[in-house]
Amino acid sequence: MVEALTTSGRVRGAARNGIATFRGIPYAAPPIAGLRFLPPQLANPWPGMLDVTGQAAACPQPALPRLFDKLDSADVATKFVERYDEDCLTVNVFTPAVDSVARPVMVWLHGGWFSVGSGNEPCYDGSNLCRAGDVVVVTVNHRLGALGFLSLADHSDDGFESSANHGLLDIVEALKWVRDNIAEFGGDPSRVTVFGESGGAAKVSMLLGVPQARGLFHRAIVQSGPMLRAVEPERAKATTEALFAKLGVNSIQHLRELPISTLIDAQSVVLGGPLGGLYGEGHRMAPAVDGRVINQHPFAPVASPAGHGVPLLIGSCRDEASMLVAAVPGIDSMEPERKVKMLADNVFGHTLDDLVECYAATRPTSSVADRFLAAVTDQIRIGGITMAERATAAGGQVHMYRVDHVPSVYGGKLGAPHTIDVGFAFANTSTGAGITSPNRGLYQDRDVPRLSEEISGAWIAFARNGDPNHRALPTWPDYETDRRSTMIFGPQSEIVDDPDGEEREIWHGREGGM
């Protein structure tokens, strides 16, 4: 056992293989009963010693369909949440030692858009990353869906004005906890990096537009989830009205009295699914421009001053869309034209329709479905490029990467899919050190150990000094629009200037992003 002192009281964690782990430390008061839909409040102090050796609850959320039933033989799964409760505002801390060494701190924001996921998932275990780079890793649980991102500003003027961003304010509160407590866990509060993948990267993007978060972190990594714009107030209001109508309620008090299961079921209907609201023009529960927490979009039309001076590491995977659509029933057997229509109607919207034909020039032998998926992938890639362009225009330092590793599982048909970078970033690609990778079927190939060293090493170097260069990689220049130097992590990692530039040009005048 190992102990530490926080501003709310003492905690007892567990030590294993040289890493001390503290799971479920409260960073704010439980947002239950009269605090449901209110901003996060200060954590309640506790007497004596709080045991934090077991996992705390994740925020209540809808169930996701199991991805890749076809890969069950490789033991690939996607949900590792053990229990749910509205009392979920906690952090997990992984550290090489409870001492005064002042190590770089890496704060992970989980994926799952703004409606599902948990910082407790095994793939986010920070032990190997701590061991590889002598850093402190923190993973965050916060409110999701309606609990964290439902705009109630038009239904009350008493504490609910910023409710569309309370899940984001939870993260700000967790960063304040890091500032005030992480030195006790061997971390340096002046060297905090926020990083996240997919929905976690979208949260990182939003933090770069939050003035209240300025100074709480000093570098940011955006993995496969650039979000350039917050939700517009009118869209947030329409989403709230649709939810009220679905539930048959007309007051916040009535909403507070509903069972959480009822609220989540209605949320999924309004959003069009558990991950509804990623694309298209429908309802959306995500951070919104409210004039209080977010005054302007973080990267549209320019980089928000709230993020100026924060070095950025931005990137994506070569074939993002392959995993994003793999859960759709029967998709492999559909005719290409039907596949495109189904995906456009139900998942991505029709905003890419006019681009698909443009990809015929760069992919003349591809089917219309493959061209559509290439455009979907580039929705993420181009969003990252747009973010980089606007950050550098504001004088910021940016490094760009792309992961091209194609796992042999499923005959290589996934390409280099969405989420493949997570295992590499955390150095969680094996069952060593007591860590079981939940995606270990994706990490069986010969070059995985090298890529794990290269990618986790870059993340660690960036957290340490704001620059991802390290001795296992070729020299990695800053991203500038005259060269567009990009680190390609693949069979032989190398710098490529303006990779797939012809397809980047197809997007001229469009922002991309989630």
| Domain assignment present for 421 | yes
| Domain assignment present for 59 | yes
SS3 49: strand
Active-site pick, 8, 127, 198, 452: 198
156: annotated active-site residue = no
| Domain assignment present for 514 | no
Which tokens belong to 343?
């995906």
| Domain assignment present for 236 | yes
Instruction: Give every CB contact of residue 246 below 8 A, 6+ residues apart in sequence.
Output: 266, 269, 270
Nearest to 321 by CA among 232, 416, 237: 416
Distance separating alpha carbons of residues 210 and 188, to the nearest angstrom: 22
Active-site pick, 161, 184, 320, 454: 320
**Do 86 and 174 touch, CB atoms closer than 8 A?**
no
**Do 513 and 507 touch, CB atoms closer than 8 A?**
no
Q: pLDDT value at position 36?
A: 96
**Secondary structure letter of residue 152 according to DSSP:** -
Q: pLDDT value at position 343?
A: 73
* pLDDT single digits (tens) 127-181: 999 999 999 999 999 999 999 999 999 887 678 999 999 999 999 999 999 999 9
| Domain assignment present for 245 | yes
Distance separating alpha carbons of residues 450 and 455, to the nearest angstrom: 9
| CB-based burial, 248-257: b 16+ in 10 Å, e otherwise | ebeebeebbe
418: annotated active-site residue = yes
Where residue 320 sits, what CATH number does that domain have? 3.40.50.1820
Q: pLDDT value at position 68?
A: 42
320: annotated active-site residue = yes
How far is residue 179 CA from its own chain's centroid?
21
| Domain assignment present for 42 | yes
| Domain assignment present for 512 | no
Q: pLDDT value at position 324?
A: 66
Q: pLDDT value at position 432?
A: 42
Q: pLDDT value at position 83?
A: 87
The β-bridge relationship of strands 103-109 and 90-95 is unpaired
Q: pLDDT value at position 434?
A: 38
Q: pLDDT value at position 479?
A: 98
Q: pLDDT value at position 346?
A: 62
Distance separating alpha carbons of residues 201 and 312, to the nearest angstrom: 12
| Low-confidence spans in the chain with pLDDT less than 70 | 65-81, 157, 277-280, 324, 326-329, 345-350, 431-440
The number of domains in the chain is: 1
Cut 0.75: pTM above it: yes
Range of the domain at 222: 2-507
Beta bridge partners of 200: none
| Domain assignment present for 85 | yes
Active-site pick, 297, 399, 418, 470: 418
**Own/partner long-range contacts of 251-258 (Cβ < 8 Å, ≥24 apart):** 251/155, 252/37, 252/152, 252/155, 252/156, 252/160, 255/37, 256/33, 256/34, 256/36, 256/37
How long a stretch of residues is the chain? Answer: 514
